[in-house]
């Protein structure tokens, strides 16, 4: 009712109330906004990023956890921003994601491009047995997500094969280590809440999108 049950695969430590208790211990203010700080306790659970974007790039990504349900992490067992040590809490912080721009399709999404971010469009997300896919409708016309142009990465959906291939190209994914698609599908079979927000990313300026 009061929005205090939020959790994600980043194990957010900025939640002021976690598991019914105030997250006061070790609270430190944010980099640019004092009210957006971080406490000692993180709120963890599996996450499905259906649409994360700005006007230049977007990503759809699956973030499974070994334990997909709500659980907490304590300080050093929580991920630390964009550090390499992101695994102690058992969630895939980076996620298995499909980013058309990063995959070489730099003219697909953006203002004045194939999918024009300067005009209204509809995002259609489909959850299949073995992957997640997206397509779009703009000005009454269907638009399909283009296939990858990146060497060593095939397809355009958030598949286990896509994430596995990405390890050799970018070396960032922990997707398989927390169960891959099997873990994602198990989490999707449970109860989920849609969360919508506008992100002000003072730390990385949304550069992770591409």
| pTM for the predicted model, two decimal places | 0.85
Enumerate domains of the chain plus CATH numbers: 17-202 (2.70.100.10)
pLDDT along the chain (210 residues), means of 10: 77 89 88 79 93 92 91 84 58 85 92 98 91 93 90 64 59 76 90 86 78
Cα distance between residue 19 and residue 136, in whole Å: 38
User: Which residue, 155, 162, 188, is CA-closest to 69?
Assistant: 188
Q: Two tokens at 102?
A: 């990063």
Alpha carbons 131 and 166: distance in angstroms, whole number? 15
The pair phi, psi for residue 186, each rounded to 5°, is -60, -40
According to DSSP, residue 84 is labeled S
Pick the closest to residue 92 from 207, 179, 182 (CA basis): 179
| Residue 82, pLDDT score | 47
């Amino acid at each position: 009712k009061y929005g205090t049950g939020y959790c994600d695969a980043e194990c957010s430590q900025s939640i002021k109330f976690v598991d019914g208790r105030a997250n006061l211990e070790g609270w430190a203010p944010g980099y640019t906004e004092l009210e957006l700080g971080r406490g000692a306790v993180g709120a963890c659970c599996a996450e499905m990023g259906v649409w994360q974007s700005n006007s230049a790039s977007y990503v759809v990504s699956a973030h499974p956890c070994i334990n997909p349900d709500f659980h907490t992490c304590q300080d050093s067992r929580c991920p630390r921003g964009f550090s390499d040590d992101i695994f102690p809490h058992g969630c895939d912080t980076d996620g298995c994601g499909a980013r058309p721009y990063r995959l070489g399709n730099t003219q697909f999404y953006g203002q004045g491009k194939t999918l024009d971010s300067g005009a209204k469009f509809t995002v259609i997300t489909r959850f299949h047995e073995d992957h997640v896919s997206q397509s779009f409708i703009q000005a009454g016309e269907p638009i399909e997500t283009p296939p990858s142009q990146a060497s060593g990465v095939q397809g355009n959906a958030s598949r286990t094969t896509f994430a596995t291939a990405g390890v050799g190209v970018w070396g960032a994914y922990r997707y398989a280590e927390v169960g891959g698609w099997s873990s994602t599908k198990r989490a999707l079979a449970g109860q989920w809440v849609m969360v919508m927000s506008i992100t002000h990313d003072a730390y990385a300026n949304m550069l992770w999108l591409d």
